[in-house]
Amino acid sequence: MGLPPWMVFCSWSLNLIYQFWVHTERIDRLPRWFEFVFNTPSHHRVHHGMDPVYLDKNYGGILIIWDRLFGSFQPELFRPHYGLTKRVDTFNIWKLQTREYVAIVRDWRSATRLRDRLGYVFGPPGWEPRTIDKSNAAASLVTSR
């Protein structure tokens, strides 16, 4: 049951080879039909951009059509700025690679409801549970009377 190891290796290898050319800045745009189906350097620049309009977009490795179908596609409107959205105070490669997972686990542990725990794991980046600030709610009740 499952896929033969050679098939997994070939698929992984083809995807890795494809990634070399999409990481170039030298190619601007390609023919429309190609950009509609395949990931291109333009699409991939968006994927790495830190501009708010570009965050969490263009996940496809080879086929960009999946991003179009699932609503995560974003065309390149302007050259993206590259970088992280949060300040990082370390050069430790392990901490850099695991910091978001550690944050998810920390948030997951702090959640008291199952719905909130599922939200931290399956919700969009930056998801937080809706909570009512009891001090503001009480103040608004007093002023509304």
- Residue 77, in any domain of the structure: no
Domain tally for the chain? 2
Residue of higher predicted confidence among 1 and 84: 84
Per-residue pLDDT at 84 exceeds 90: no
Query: pLDDT tens digits, residue range 2-22?
Result: 899 999 999 999 999 999 999
The reply to whether 86 falls in a domain is no
Examine the domain organization and report whether 103 and 61 are in the same domain. no
Q: What share of the chain is helix, strand, coil (3-state, %, to 5)?
A: 55, 5, 45
Residue 16 belongs to some domain of the structure? yes
In a domain, 84, yes or no: no
Q: How far apart are CA 48 and CA 23, in angstroms?
A: 10
| 101 & 63 share domain | no
- Is residue 109 domain-shared with residue 61, that is, in the same domain? no
CB 40 within 8 A of CB 30: yes
Query: What is the radius of gyration, based on Cα positions, of the chain?
Result: 21
Percent of the chain's residues with pLDDT above 70: 90
Task: Give CA–CA dist 61/44, Å, rounded.
Answer: 9
In this structure, is residue 121 part of a structural domain?
yes
In terms of residue numbers, what domain contains 55?
5-70
**What whole-number distance in Å separates Cα of residue 108 and Cα of residue 105?**
5
Residues 19, 62 within the same domain: yes
pLDDT at 13: 95
Is 82 a member of any domain?
Answer: no
For 63-100, b/e burial (b = at least 16 CB within 10 A) is ebeebeeeeebbebeeebeeeeeeeeeeeeeeeeeeee
- Read off the pLDDT of residues 19-70 as tens digits, 9 standing for 90 and up: 999 999 999 999 999 999 999 999 999 999 999 999 999 999 999 999 999 9
In three-state secondary structure terms, 14 is helix
Average pLDDT, the chain: 89
Is 87 inside a domain boundary?
no
Do 18 and 62 lie in one domain? The reply is yes
- Asked, for residue 79, whether it belongs to a domain, the answer is no
- 17-24 contact pairs (CB < 8 A, 24+): 18/61, 18/62, 19/61
SS3 label, residue 50: coil
